[in-house]
Amino acid sequence: MVPAMDQAGIHYRVEDDFPDYLRDESRQTGWADSISFPLSTDEIRDHLRYAEARRELVTLQGARTGITAGAVPEGGHVLNLSRMKRLLSVKKEPLPTVVVQPGLSLAEIRTAIREEIGSKWFFPPDPTETSASIGGMIACNASGARSFLYGAVRAYIHSLRVMLIDGSTLLIRRQANRASNRSFEITAECGRRIAGALPSYRLPSMKNASGYFAQDEMDLVDLFVGSEGTLGVVFEAELSLRPNPPVQFGLLAFLPDENGALAVVRRARAMARIKPETEGLAALEFFDERSLALVRNEPAGTELRLPEGPGVAVYLEYHGHQENFLEDRVASLSQHLEKCGADPETAWLATSEKEMERLKAFRHAIPEAVNRTIGERKKTNPGLTKLGTDLAVPDDRLDDVVRLYREGLDRLGLEHVIFGHIGNNHLHVNIIPRSTDEYEKGRQLYREWGRAVVRMGGTVSAEHGIGKLKREMLMEMYGPEGIEEMKRLKACFDPDSLLNRGNLFSY
Ligand SMILES: Cc1cc2nc3c(=O)[nH]c(=O)nc-3n(C[C@H](O)[C@H](O)[C@H](O)COP(=O)(O)OP(=O)(O)OC[C@H]3O[C@@H](n4cnc5c(N)ncnc54)[C@H](O)[C@@H]3O)c2cc1C
């Protein structure tokens, strides 16, 4: 047991002083001996060396909005980076970048960019939860609704500074540090050379946040993005920005049933991209009947006056740089929507920032309402947690996966909602168990789906990461050999597996 405070006054007891820091948004609770909140790189190094000398586990935390228990400790020390919140530098030419510390939240980064660079540039990743820290977003390769157009966080990381468990630091710049086939070599700033082999598995072709990124000749920045804090602590990140499209609008359309929604998806995809990664359909989202029912009584749902009765909804968001973009798109969209069975009278068009924010609040209200419902049920049955899927499949398997979800849920009669990033074939099924029996059935069903999705060429995590909750599924996806290769890779950076042990795979 570490003393309540060590000689530098930097460790605190977790259970007594900071009990909330044993949890994240997965609502799992862990255990730990001590916690610290470093404010500088030197302080991070002190904590890591202190832990390494004692062979003590270290769990990294950002804002703890993760939903796979990646930031939930299983003993040892908690290193919470949320107080390292400085914007370190801003570069305006030739293309703007900002260098930030890991604890800055997405909301704070957006404000800083507006203040320092202006509103012509923006940082596109948008994992809905704006209190997420950039360190956590990088560790999970976070993405969200707009990744349909812009991709995940990975695409916006220009360089990283990472501290390893022994306190040595790496500076890894995009395009400057690359693998050779599947081998890599990196020299730490102290001169220590780290070399090894990348896993040999093939990554799925869609949006993916499952395990280490591995490709021939890959940029080594990408090895750390999405590595879930298992290789090192991200203590500085240089983020690249994109031109902010001056024309943005969102449309929430209500449809009689899921078949209509799938038809909208096919049509919208066919007319999706104008200029890849800069202009076109930015988000394509789906909300089933139960999601709408759940959110109808929430403030965001009441404010929008969601239509009563059966039916589903699709949200389309477009970003453009031309003045006539809005008129052109809305005209052709209305025709398409009508052909798919939507009633244009009930559709909700948002063109101003304020209106877009309201639609976003509506979308955010769904996972929050689910979390609140499960929170209530936990009061009488603490073992219950929501089961939220994060599976994605290739484009041509979307209809199959929707059928798969419906068949399983109907067969077992489980309470649920289905919503999310249908444009990326990435729907979140949230099973909301009412009893321990339903929870166990839901877990079993999720595992079945994971296996089926892998057979379809899909991924077991498209955006939330693996954490400690989906290790079995990762094994399903890459097989025992893939997991062994990942373990060997981790050992190159963290030989005793002290850092974030339990994330991705068991020790
Ligand atoms: C309502 C809601 C909606 C959400 N929607 C989305 C969504 O649309 N898309 C999406 O991608 N996610 C979503 N999330 C999940 C979550 O917001 C993201 O995973 C986010 O990236 C986590 O950031 P964090 O700072 O909270 O990280 P934490 O939860 O604190 O940690 C996440 C992981 O990162 C590691 N980590 C944290 N900081 C560092 C660091 N500096 N260096 C190395 N490793 C580190 C942790 O050890 C852990 O493994 C949602 C969450 C909620 C609650």
Tell me whether residue 300 is in a domain: yes
Say yes or no: 18 and 156 in one domain. Answer: no
Say yes or no: 239 and 251 in one domain. Answer: no
Q: Which of 49, 80, 111 is the last residue of a domain?
A: 80
CA distances from 24 to 28, 71, 108, 467 (A): 7, 6, 20, 11
Say yes or no: 411 and 421 in one domain. Answer: yes
Say yes or no: 76 and 92 in one domain. Answer: no
Are the CB atoms for 450 and 391 separated by under 8 Å?
yes
CATH assignment of the domain containing 269: 3.30.70.2190
Pull the structure tokens for residue 72. 């939930």
Say yes or no: 347 and 227 in one domain. Answer: no
pLDDT at 27: 81
What's the rounded Cα separation, in Å, for the pair 482 and 486?
A: 6
Mean pLDDT (the chain, rounded): 92
pLDDT at 276: 56
Tell me whether residue 133 is in a domain: yes
Q: Is the CB of 103 under 6 A from ligand 1?
A: no
Q: pLDDT, tens digit, for every residue of 291-306?
A: 999 988 887 777 778 8
Say yes or no: 73 and 91 in one domain. Answer: no
Q: pLDDT, tens digit, for every residue of 67-111?
A: 999 999 999 999 999 999 999 999 988 899 999 999 999 999 999
Tell me whether residue 226 is in a domain: yes
pLDDT at 278: 65
CATH assignment of the domain containing 393: 3.30.70.2740
Say yes or no: 206 and 97 in one domain. Answer: yes
Tell me whether residue 367 is in a domain: no
How sure is the predictor about 5, in pLDDT bands with cuts at 50, 70 and 90? very low
Tell me whether residue 491 is in a domain: no
Q: Give mean pLDDT, residues 160-181.
A: 97
pTM of the complete model = 0.93
% of the chain at pLDDT higher than 90: 74
Tell me whether residue 262 is in a domain: yes
How sure is the predictor about 469, in pLDDT bands with cuts at 50, 70 and 90? very high
Tell me whether residue 448 is in a domain: yes
pLDDT exceeds cutoff 50 at 7: no
Q: Give mean pLDDT, residues 220-235.
A: 98
Q: Is the CB of 30 under 6 A from ligand 1?
A: no
Of 126-130, 165-169, 419-423, minimum mean pLDDT range: 126-130
Cα–Cα nearest to 81, from 16, 134, 5:
134
Say yes or no: 223 and 258 in one domain. Answer: no
- Grouping H, G, I as helix, E, B as strand and the rest as coil, residue 249 is strand
pLDDT at 358: 87
Q: Report the run of H or E that residue 110 belongs to, with start and end.
A: helix 106-116
Residue nearest to atom 9 of ligand 1 (CA): 127
Say yes or no: 312 and 193 in one domain. Answer: no
Q: Which residue among 170, 386, 459, 464 is best mutated to probe the pocket of ligand 1, counting the most ligand atoms within 8 A of its Cβ?
A: 464
Domain with 57 in it: 12-80
Q: Give mean pLDDT, residues 396-414.
A: 97
pLDDT at 8: 46
CATH assignment of the domain containing 226: 3.30.465.10
Residue nearest to atom 6 of ligand 1 (CA): 127
Total domains in the chain come to: 4
Say yes or no: 309 and 189 in one domain. Answer: no
Are the CB atoms for 68 and 205 separated by under 8 Å?
no
Pull the structure tokens for residue 460. 């077991």
Rounded distance from Cα 105 to ligand 1 centre (Å): 10
CATH assignment of the domain containing 47: 3.30.43.10
Q: Is the CB of 386 under 6 A from ligand 1?
A: no
Q: Give mean pLDDT, residues 144-161.
A: 94
